[in-house]
Each structure stands twice: as structure tokens, then as C-alpha cells.
Amino acid sequence: MMPKSTQKPSDDQILAALHSGGQCMTYVVANRISMAWRSRPFNTAFILRRLKVLEKAGKVERVPSSYAVQICWRTRPLTSCAAGRDGECGHALCPQLRDNEPRATGRHCPLDNERTEA
């Protein structure tokens, strides 16, 4: 059996791995990150702990599955802008990145309800 990786993926990397495959089990998220990093397998327990933290933060949710023990996850849709103060957003579900904004039309983020456009 191959030893587990000692590196720890960030929450953004976990969200990106989960978003890229739709809803999936905890071990699948860990394997996707391992394949993306071309590293040894990650400790699935660490990924599970981070997913539970992300669930409390409202970024992911559990999905009913036919398995009794395994937990299936999916990302929750964005309801507000996730960009930082600098205006850059790296969220996997950002509509700005999906639509190549603001370069394409100069349009502001459609999810940003706090700011008003001039």
C-alpha cells in the first residue's frame, strides 16, 4: 500500500475538485486532488474534516445516496459575490470566470448585491 501524502490541499482546491465532478464521495474528491497534484493519495479523513468545515460555512452540502456509510457531497450554488476586496475571484462557480467577465463586456458581477454600479 502506498503511503499517504503529507501535503494538505487548501479549501479552494477541495472545492474545485468537487465542482469539477459534480456530486461525489469523499474518497473521490481526495483521489481527484491526488491526480491533479500527481502525488501520493491524500488522507481521506483530512478531506472529510475539511468538507465538514465547508459544510458549516455553507459552501458544500451532503447529498442523499444509496450507501449507508459513505457521504456524497456537492458544491452549493453561489448566492453572493465571492470576490475579495481586490475584485479578483477564484471561486470554482464564479459566473464572472464562466462568462469571461469583466473583459468581455465590462459588466460587474451579477451576484454582487452589496455594491452598486456607477
CATH number of the CATH domain containing 22? 1.10.10.10
- Given a cut of 60, whether residue 28 has pLDDT beyond it is yes
Residue 65 has pLDDT above 70, yes or no: yes
Domain of residue 50: give its range: 11-75
pTM score of the predicted model: 0.66
Instruction: Please tell me the predicted confidence (pLDDT) of residue 118.
Output: 46
d(CA 103, CA 109): 12
Query: Could you tell me if 5 and 43 are in contact, meaning their C-beta atoms sit under 8 angstroms apart?
Result: yes
Measured distance CA(80)–CA(19) in Å, rounded: 17
**Do 15 and 63 lie in a common domain?**
yes
Strands (E), 1-118: 24-25, 60-63, 72-75
